[in-house]
Every structure is written in C-alpha cells, then in structure tokens.
Structure 1
C-alpha cells in the first residue's frame, strides 16, 4: 500500500506538467491564429510584415503556425509593425472570469452555421437601427469589400445614376502621400499609411458634398476610421463568392494568384473570414455573385432614394 502511494504521488507532477504543456501549446496556437488574423485583416504579406518588424519571413511563418519559441519582445515587434496593440494578438484568458459566462458557454457548443444564426438573432434584437437617414443620405455612399467584388464598376454606375462624383479612396491617398499604395506601405509602414488613409477621408468630406466612395477592404481593421465611415456614409458591403473574387482579380490583369492558386484561395478565404464581422456592420449587404452590374446598381440606388426609386441606366 505504501509503495503504491509513493508511486501515485510521484506521477502527479508528471501529469501536472503534461497538462501545463498541453495548455501552453493550445495558448501558442491561439496566438498564432490571432497573428494570422490581424495580418489578414490588414492585407499585409509576410514580406511586408518582415520588413517592418525586423523578423524573418521564415520565423514569421513559424509564429503563424505555432511552431516558434515566442518572446514578449518579439510579439511586441509584430504588433507594432501591424499597428495593433499587443493585447490584440494575445488570447483573452477565461481564467480572468470570476464565473462562467452562460452565453459564451452556449456559443462554444454551436456549429459555425449555428454561430451565424445566433449572430443574426442577436443583431436583430440588440443592434442599433442601421436604416438610412436623410443626413447620411446627403453625404453619399461608401463601398467596402474585398478586391474583386466589383466595387469600381458598380461605383461608377452608381455615381452616374445618382449624378454625383465617383472617387477611389486609394487615388486620394496616393495624391496626398506622393507615392502609390504599395510604395507607401513598404516605405512607411502600417501606422503612417492608416494615418494618411484617415486624412484622405477627411479630404473627401471637405471637398465634396456627396460622392460614391470606393474604399479599400482593409480599412475595416482600423476601428476609429471605420466607425467614422459608418457614421458619415451610407455604407454598402459589396460581396462575392471567393471564386468570383479570384477570377475578377485575374481578369484585371493580376495573374499572381494563378501561380499558387490553392494558397491564394486559402489566403483569400482567411481574409474574408477575419473581416466579415466588420463588413457586416455596413448599412446593407450587396452580393454581386452571378448578377449584372446594372441589377446591383439599381438595388442600391433604390435603397438610397426610397421616396423616388431610380432605375440604373444600361
């Protein structure tokens, strides 16, 4: 009996150590997921993140797969390069709760489809009414969404139908910054780019009474700037299926996705997954998949002019 007791006591530290290692491994995987997600939200390549963090692309890949031995200083450099707080890439520990949250416990057991149903129900019950008002209507329309959704083509047709200017925010950013977008990001990093992005929106509002504004899909990663857009424009999430996004990008002459199509598709789906909760804050969703641009434009024009519906000209 005594021998058995000694043996049992000697195994406890080993079991405890094993549990700690498993918990640590799970925590590291959560960090990896958050880093991947934040990078995806901002549309940053590992190459750009490497340049501005001073961390090699290879090591960043290990961080994003949970295989790296991470330090606080390394994570801080990654967060700084992405213009986010360190807390944004560290998991929120459930140990900080004094008691279990019954809502979180319920959600934890749901499938992805049930998560979406729960989100829709909660939004209908508790969200602020997102119907257009006359003040926002007078300030124009902002189109958000991933590249390849059809924002440019749709925006030009909308502007023509409403008799107002069409402006690409990227053009204003380049005009104010003196470089093209890629050069701005490469030379000055996320923080400077996001500051210029906000200045560009202010410029548009100061110089135009009402516009159709095409906005880059990664703007939603900046909470304050995106909130400003939501408060001052009738915001439309222009959405398409991932396959249509990809085909439209390649049709525009960018054949880079073709070189590694599966990886490009996986990256695209990750970006959409990370940004979708923010895109859903828009006033309305417009799915362009399998639809003509005239049909899509007419739908938005009718929503923006409810008193006197206008049909988009072909």
Structure 2
C-alpha cells in the first residue's frame, strides 16, 4: 500500500502537469503523442492515480517544455513554518563555520550539502530533494553556486529559511586564503578580481534570500546570534 505522503506528492505532480498542459493549450491526446505515453496513463497521472516512473515523468516534462525536476519542485508544498535554515553565499562567506555554531545553538543537525555530493556534483539537486523531503529541522551549508541552479534554488526558497551570508570582497578573499583553497585558479594573480566579479554577478540571486546577514560587520559570533534571533522570531 502506498504511503500517504507519496499519494499527496503524486496528486500534486498530477495537478502541476494538468495546469502546464492546459496552459500550453494541449489536449491529453496531443500531450500523449508528444511524450510517447498513453492517454489513459496521462489521465491517471493528472488525477494522482498513476505511480509514474522518473523516466516517464522526464518524457512528459520534456513534451511540456520543462524538466522532471521542475515538476517535482513545483509540486512541493511551501512550508508555513520553515525550520530548516539554508545558508547561502560565495565561498569565504563563513557558511561552514557559522553553520556549525548556529546548528549547535539551535540544537539541530548541521549538514554540508557539498559533502553529500562530493563524488558527483551533478547529483546535488537530487540529493537536496531527498534530504529536504525527510528533514524537519537542520542547518544546511550550501555550495556557492546553488543559486544558479534554478530548480535547487526554488526548492530551498520553498522549504527553508534562506540566509545570505554577506561579506566584503576583501573578507571573502581573506577567508578563502585562510581555508587553504587549493582549487585550480586559486593561486592565479587574477583570482581576487575573479572572485569580486563572481560575487557581483551572483548578488541579485543571493539577494532573493529571506534574510541577509552582514558577517563582515557582525563577525562570526555576532552573525550566529543575529541569525538565531531572526529565525526563531519568524
């Protein structure tokens, strides 16, 4: 017998699929022909009765001009009480240091998303979806580029209290050096300028976070206190 939460998800995916199909002016028959699945199967999917495989969901999503990940993200309910805190920001923002201290203060688990996908970063979105599906409380340190993955970023915004850890370019660079960054290009004479340009390019995305905390002004302990105060008062 299927679990209740699985039934809820299937119903939500079906509803999103139906809205997209109707929004594109397609009949079920037309979508069935474009996706290669049967019209009966689509009817079951849209009414939440079809236990669709990821392969078939991919075919349907592609025919609708989207992706299976987008359908799953759109089907996720937005939590009214967001008890998972997701820290975002460029490397050197202090996500790991602040995340560990914040998790200890809030008495919740601390998770580094990059550590979960160390072997294959292409799996980051899938790992994030699975983690958030079962997480009630946690502090997550995300990768610096998570905001550039539209599906992953939308999911974080729906399911978590997102916190942008701001810092001056100088502090970002200082912390990167203190961390002993050995990635290719870190020793380049232009690396600091490249980091500054990357920060400027991503700032509009980071600014979409629910909260922003200036770690350069507050320092690490002050930032932990500020985030704790603001997330517990929401």
Provide the TM-score with structure 1 as the length reference: 0.47
Task: Please report how far the alpha carbon of residue 203 of structure 1 lies from its aligned counterpart in structure 2 after TM superposition.
Answer: 2.2
Contact kept? 1:142, 1:215, Cα under 8 Å: yes
2:115 corresponds, among 171, 174, 177, to 171
Question: Do the aligned partners of residues 299 and 267 (structure 1) sit closer, same or farther apart at CA in structure 2, a change above 3 Å counting?
Answer: same
Contact kept? 2:79, 2:159, Cα under 8 Å: no
Query: For 1:138-195, what per-residue CA distance to the aligned partner results, in whole angstroms no more than 9, with x for missing partners?
Result: 3x10000000011111001110111100000011113xxxx2xxxx46xxxxxxx1xx
SS in structure 1 of the partner of residue 218 of structure 2: coil
Question: Do the aligned partners of residues 202 and 157 (structure 1) sit closer, same or farther apart at CA in structure 2, a change above 3 Å counting?
Answer: same
2:80 corresponds, among 99, 116, 135, to 135
Correspondences of 1:43-122 after superposition (within 5 Å): none
Q: Cα RMSD between the aligned structures?
A: 2.1
Correspondences of 1:1-314 after superposition (within 5 Å): 135-138=80-83, 140-174=84-118, 179=119, 184=120, 193=122, 196-254=123-181, 259-261=187-189, 263-306=190-233
Contact kept? 1:136, 1:231, Cα under 8 Å: no
Task: Please report how far the alpha carbon of residue 134 of structure 1 lies from its aligned counterpart in structure 2 after TM superposition.
Answer: 7.4
SS in structure 2 of the partner of residue 135 of structure 1: coil
Contact kept? 2:92, 2:175, Cα under 8 Å: yes
Q: How far apart are the structure 1 equivalents of 2:218 and 2:182? A: 24
Contact kept? 1:154, 1:296, Cα under 8 Å: yes
Query: For 1:110-150, what per-residue CA distance to the aligned partner results, in whole angstroms no more than 9, with x for missing partners?
Result: xxxxxxxxxxxxxxxxxxxxxxx972433x10000000011
SS in structure 2 of the partner of residue 285 of structure 1: strand
Provide the TM-score with structure 2 as the length reference: 0.62
The equivalent of 1:35 in structure 2 is none
Question: Do the aligned partners of residues 163 and 291 (structure 1) sit closer, same or farther apart at CA in structure 2, a change above 3 Å counting?
Answer: same
Contact kept? 1:169, 1:215, Cα under 8 Å: yes
Q: Which structure 2 residue ranges, 5 or more long, are not aligned?
A: 1-77
SS in structure 2 of the partner of residue 270 of structure 1: helix
More helix per residue: 1 or 2?
A: 1
